[in-house]
Amino acid sequence: MSESKEYVSQTLEHGAIHISEEVIAAIAALAIQDVEGVYGLNQELSKLAKRGQGKGIRLVISDDDEISVDCYIVVLYGHSVVDVAK
């Protein structure tokens, strides 16, 4: 049984590009690992989101393929949430 996947697509002059939402979420998760003061992703909060469930990432894709990435993180003790968010 094949699973239905969501893709962000763009057609260009010389072809088309299709990127899986799972790939976008994975790239965001990898980028978060390099942010000082971040312990990790909070998977419980992201379960409330429609997309990126259980990964700590929520993707919102508009009709014109603009992507908003929400990251549910756990901040290490002693770090300022405001500084980490910058």
10-31: per-residue pLDDT in tens? 888 999 988 888 898 889 999 9
All structural domains of the chain with their residue ranges? 21-85
| Selected residue with higher pLDDT from 83 and 21 | 83
DSSP state string for the chain: -PPP--EEEEEETTEEEEEEHHHHHHHHHHHHTTSTTEEEE-HHHHTTSSSSTTTTEEEEE-TT--EEEEE-EEEPTTS-HHHHH-
Give tens-digit pLDDT for 28-42: 999 998 999 999 888
Q: What percent of the chain has pLDDT over 70?
A: 81
Please give the pLDDT value at position 1. Answer: 38
Q: What percent of the chain has pLDDT over 90?
A: 31
